[in-house]
A = this chain, B = another copy of it.
Amino acid sequence: MSAAVTSRGTAPVTIRAMESSSTAPGGSTRREATRQKLYEAAVTLIAEQGFSATTVDEIAERAGVAKGTVYYNFASKSVLFEELLRHGVGLLAASLREAAEKTARDGGSKVDALDAMVRAGLVFIDRYPAFTQLYVAEMWRTNRAWQSTLMVVRQQAVAVVEDVLREGVEGGEFSDEIDVPLTASALVGMVLVAALDWQSFQPERSLDDVHAALSRLLQGRVSGPGRG
């Protein structure tokens, strides 16, 4: 397992995240399309079964590609998985940051920013449920090859929430007694688990509906009878 590829002369198999097409303007080479198909196949299967229980043959078959192609494009099963993780969390972090920035541009408060991020999180989980399942399943494991990748990738996403909280404290909108990292974790957990339960047990509910329920909790509009 150690020596990786090296042998089969031709393939680059570098771990760069994207681009690097020939010289074409658009970018998207044939190879990129194949890799995308493999990501999609792998994310579903691994979310359902877990990494170890998912075979490379299955991934290839689901992607409609020969097994050799998997190894032409990725150095190993683990590398495919790691790149998949980076790819997915990159999307999430960008989406969260975008939501926070838009709120700021529109002159919203920090609570508004948090609320917008909750919604962005829900939209992401709604669009990529398999990725989310897989992320949750692997995040708190120890002794795994991609442990460090996960840490980096996690921090990327959580940091966006922490930044908003910190700015809120500095601006006097939030109590300076809140514990920023822990509160950020708790908020992420709230959205994550609520969304996964939504997908698993009440998939027919609308995103707006779920978002409303979480907003209420986030803004402490829980106590009190009538219209809280």
Residues of chain A at the chain B interface (Cβ within 8 Å): 47-53, 111, 133, 136-144, 172-179, 181-183, 185-194, 196-202, 209-210, 213-214, 216-217, 219-228
Q: Is the interface of A mostly helix, strand, loop or mixed?
A: helix
Contacts A47-B141, A173-B225, A177-B228 given; 4 further ones with Cβ under 8 A?
A52-B52, A136-B136, A140-B196, A192-B193
**Bound CA span A165–B191, Å:** 18
**Bound CA span A181–B217, Å:** 13
User: Are B193 and A188 touching (Cβ within 8 A)?
Assistant: yes
A-B contact pairs, 5 of them (CB 8 A): A50-B50, A136-B136, A178-B213, A179-B209, A179-B213
**Bound CA span A136–B187, Å:** 17
**Bound CA span A202–B197, Å:** 27
Candidate in A140, A199, A200, A227 with the most chain B CB atoms within 10 angstroms: A140
Candidate in A48, A175, A214 with the most chain B CB atoms within 10 angstroms: A175
